[in-house]
Amino acid sequence: MNRAKLNDVLFNWRAAVKSPNFVPVGIKLLVLLAFPIAAFFQDFVQVFSLALFNPEAQYVLLVPFVAAYLFYRRRKAFLLPRKNSRLHDLTAVSLCLLALLVYVWGSYSFYALQLHLVALPIFFAGVTLLIFGADVLKLLVFPIGLLIFLSPFPLIFMDAYGANLMASDAAAAGYMLKLFLPIKITYQPIVTLSSVTTSGQQIQISLTAACSGIYSLTAFLFCAVVFGYFASGSPVKKIFYATLAIVFAYLLNVFRITTMVVLGHFYGLGLATDFFHDVGGTAFAFIGTLILLYLASVGLKLSFVQAKADVCSFCKASTEAVCAKCGRILKWPKIAMNWKRLAFILLFLLVCSDLIVQASAVNYNAVMTSPQAAVNFNPNTGALGAFTNLTGWSSTFTGREKSAEQQLGLIFVGDYSLTQGNGTSLVDAIFEVSNLQSGFHTWEGCLHYQSYPINIQKITYVTIYDQGSSIVNGETIVADAPTLNQTLVLVYWFDSLALETNNTITNYCIKVTLYRFIANVNDSATQTANVAAVSNQLLSVSQGSENTWSTYKNSNYLFAVDIYRNSLAFTVLVTVLLSFCVLALIVKELSLRRATRRKIADLPEEDKRFLAAIKDNQSRVLSEASHEDKSYFGKLDQLRREQILHEKISSKNDEIYKEWTTY
C-alpha cells in the first residue's frame, strides 16, 4: 500500500469516527455481535476444538474469517435507516424463537453440536432484522447464510452415506489401478485395497469413514459458494460451477486413494500412509482449488476479480443525498436511536440468549466436579465405577480397543460384560470416552463396518431418563446378522460424566452401548417376543445407570427443559407465527404490486412510455438528461410521490444504491 492510499484510508477512518452515526451504529453492531457470540460461545469452543484436531474438518476454521470479510465489504449497509414495520419485527421475533427451538431439539439429539450451529444463522438473521431492518438483512443474507458451514454436518451424512461413498471411491480407484497393478478389493468390514510392492511384499490400505470424501465435498462446496459469490457471470454458470466443484471433489478423492496405493506399491506403506495420508489431502485440496478456479475462468468465462465501478458524472456534480442518475447513496442521513425500543429488543434478546445458554447446559458443564460426584476410572486396567452401583449387576472388564481409539480419535474405548445374579444373564457393554460429543459416531453408521453382513430392521428413539431437570435420550436398534443366524439388539446413548483418574477429576463426554445377540427361531411370534424381552432388559439396565449418574449432575434450569418437554406445542406456536409473518409479507407485496398496476393503467401514454423506459434501463434514460433538465427528474419525483415508483436497495462493488421499480 503506497503512502497516498494509506493516507486516504486513515482519512476515511477519522471521518467515520467523527461521524454522528458512529455511536449509534457502533451500539447496534455491538448488540448484533454480542448476543450470538454469548449464546453460542460453548458451541464455538467445541467446533473450533474439533477443527483444530480433526484435519478433515479444518475448513471450518476459514468460515468466520470469510464471513467477517464479507460483512466488512457490506459495512456501508449498516448506515441505512431502519424502516421496519411491526410485521418485520414479528418476523424477527419468530426467527429468534425458531433458532431457540432448533437449539433445544439439538441439545437432546445425537447431533447436538451440528444442530446448535444450524440455529446460529437463523438467530443471527433474526437479530439483524430486529436491529438494522429488512433492507440490511437482504444485503447481508449471503454472509449470514455462510455461517451454516460452521456446523460440522458432514458427520451426519458420514453415518448415513459414508460406507456407500467409501465403497464407490474404492471401486473407482480399483478400476484404474487394475490397468497396471495387481489389486484386490474387499468390502467387509471396511473397504480394503490389497496389492504388492515392487519387492513382492503384500500391502493393505484400509479406507475408513473419514476417507469417504464427505469432508472434502463440503470443503469444496464451501469454496465454490464463496468464489461463485465473487464471480461475475450468469446464475446458471455459477450453479454449474458449484456442481462441478462437487464432482471434482469426488474425482480428486478417488485420485488421492489411487496415488496412495501407487506410492505403497513403489515405496512401501510408510510413505503412503504415514506421510501422504496426512499431507496429501491438504496438498490435493490446494491444487484442486487452483485447477477448479482455472477451469471456471477459462471454460465458464467466470471472472473472480471485480473491477471497481467508475463514479458517474452525476455523482461527481450532485449535491443531493442520492445520485439522481445511478442511485448511489452519497450522503448518509443521521441515524436516530429509539432508546425505548432498543431496551425492549435487548430484553427480548437477553431472554432468548439465556434460554439458549440454559439449553447448552444439557451438553456442556452439566456435571459436578466434586469428589463425591466423580466416578472412579482407570483407563489402563479398565476399572470403572460407572457400572458398580447397578442393583443386582456386576461388571467385568474384558479389553480395551486401542485401534478404535486411534481411528476414531477417542480417549478410551473399553469392553465390559455385565452379569446378574448367578451370571446366567449376560449383557455386553462398550464404554467410550471423548472430549467432544461430536467425536462419537452413531451406531447407524458403525453397523456398516462390522466384520459380518448386518441388516438394520428397526431403530427406535427412546427416553432413558426423564426426571426433574434432566432428560437423557437414546436409541434402540434391532439388526439381523444372517451369516450368524442371530439378531443383534442394541441400546446406546450419550451423556457426560466426571471421571476421576489418579486423583484428577475431569468432565468427559461418554457414549454407552449395551447389546446382546439372540439366536433366531423360525416362529416369528416367538422371535418378536424374544427381541422385545431383550430390548426391555437393556433399557432397564440403561435406566438403572442413569438413575445412578443423575445424582452427579447439576440441575438444569427447568424453563429450558420445559421447552423440550412441550416441544410439540412450542413447535406449533413457532410454525404458526412464522407462517403468518411470511404469508402476511407475501400478501402485502402482492397488494402493493396490484395497486401499482392499477395506478399505471390510469396514467397518460407519455408517462407509461417513460415508465417502460425506466424499467428497461433507468441509467440509460437518465443519462439522456442533463443536470439542468428538470423534466426527467420532475417526472421521477411525481411518480415517486404517487407511489408508482418504489424504492429498492441494492449493492454493487461494495456501494449501496437506491433504485426505483414499478414491479
Q: Using CA of residue 159, residue 433, residue 359, residue 215, what is the dihedral sign?
A: negative
> How confident is the model over 542-595, as pLDDT tens digits?
888 888 777 767 666 677 788 888 889 999 999 999 999 999 999 998 998 888
pLDDT at position 620, please? Answer: 45
Residues 287-292 have a mean pLDDT of 76
pLDDT at residue 627 tops 50: no
> How confident is the model over 397-414, as pLDDT tens digits?
888 998 888 877 889 999
Beta strands in 246-347 (DSSP E): none
Q: Looking at domain 567-661, does it have CATH number 3.30.70?
A: no
581 vs 439, higher pLDDT? 581
Residues 108-117 have a mean pLDDT of 89
Q: How many CA atoms lie within 13 A of 656 on its CB side?
A: 23
pLDDT at position 621, please? Answer: 46
pLDDT at residue 261 tops 60: yes
84 vs 96, higher pLDDT? 96
Q: What is the percentage of the chain residues whose pLDDT exceeds 70?
A: 82
68 vs 200, higher pLDDT? 68
Q: Using CA of residue 374, residue 376, residue 378, residue 382, what is the dihedral sign?
A: negative
Which amino acid appears at position 271 of this protein?
L
Q: What is the DSSP letter of 328?
A: B
pLDDT at residue 619 tops 50: no
pLDDT at position 516, please? Answer: 92
pLDDT at residue 523 tops 70: yes
* DSSP-assigned beta bridge partners for residue 473: 463
pLDDT at position 554, please? Answer: 65
638 vs 151, higher pLDDT? 151
Task: Provide CB contacts within 8 A for 395, sequence distance 6+.
Answer: 384, 387, 388, 416, 417, 418, 429
> How confident is the model over 457-487, as pLDDT tens digits?
999 999 988 887 788 899 999 999 888 899 9
Sequence ranges of the domains in the chain = 23-138+362-366, 156-298, 371-555, 567-661
CA distance 166 to 205: 13
Task: Provide CB contacts within 8 A for 73, sequence distance 6+.
Answer: 654
Residues 327-343 have a mean pLDDT of 82
Sequential DSSP letters for 201-258 = -EEEEEE-GGGGSHHHHHHHHHHHHHHHHH-BS-HHHHHHHHHHHHHHHHHHHHHHHH
Give me 146's grid cell: 455462510
CA distance 524 to 575: 43
Q: How confident is the model at residue 280 (pLDDT cuts 50, 70, 90)?
A: low
* DSSP-assigned beta bridge partners for residue 489: 478, 516
Sequential DSSP letters for 468-524 = TTEEEEEEEEEEEEGGGTEEEEEEEEEEEEEEEETTEEEEEEEEEEEEEEEE--S-H
Q: How confident is the model at residue 643 (pLDDT cuts 50, 70, 90)?
A: confident
CA distance 252 to 211: 12
Residues 596-622 have a mean pLDDT of 72
Relative orientation angle of helices 339-360 and 22-39, to the nearest 10 degrees: 20
> How confident is the model over 31-47, as pLDDT tens digits?
999 999 999 999 999 89
- Among 93-107, 126-140, 333-347, 358-372, name the one with the lowest average pLDDT: 358-372
Give me 296's grid cell: 471456471
Task: Give the pairing type, strands 470-481 and 486-501.
Answer: antiparallel
Residue count of the chain, please give it: 663
> Residue ranges of the alpha helices (H) in 54-204?
63-73, 86-107, 112-131, 134-146, 154-177
